[in-house]
Amino acid sequence: MALALLEDWCRIMSVDDQKSLMVTGIPVECDETEIQEVLQETLKSLGRYRLLGKIFRKQENANAVLLEFVEDIDVSVFPSEVQGKGGIWKVVFKTPNQDTEFLERLNLFLEKEGQTVSGMFRALGHEGVSPASVPCISPELLAHLLGQAITHAPQPLLPMRYRKLRVFSGSAVPAPEEEPFEIWLEQATEIVKEWPVAEAEKKRWLMESLRGPALDLMRIVQADNPSISMEECLEAFKQVFGSLESRRTSQVKYLKTYQEEGEKVSAYVLRLETLLRRAVEKRAIPRNIADQVRLEQVMAGASLSDILWCRLRELKDQGPPPTFLELMKVIREEEEEEASFENENIEEPDDRDGCGPWENEADD
Give the pLDDT of residue 80: 81
Q: Cα–Cα distance between 257 and 240 in angstroms, integer?
A: 27
Give the pLDDT of residue 337: 86
- The model's pLDDT over 215-273, given as tens digits with 9 standing for 90+, comes to 899 989 888 888 888 888 888 888 888 776 667 888 888 899 999 999 999 999 999 99
- The model's pLDDT over 273-298, given as tens digits with 9 standing for 90+, comes to 988 988 887 788 888 999 999 999 99
Task: Please report, rounded to a whole number, the percentage of residues in the chain having pLDDT higher than 70.
Answer: 72
Give the mean model confidence (pLDDT) for residues 30-35. Answer: 88
- The model's pLDDT over 173-228, given as tens digits with 9 standing for 90+, comes to 777 777 778 778 887 887 777 766 677 777 887 888 888 898 899 989 888 888 88
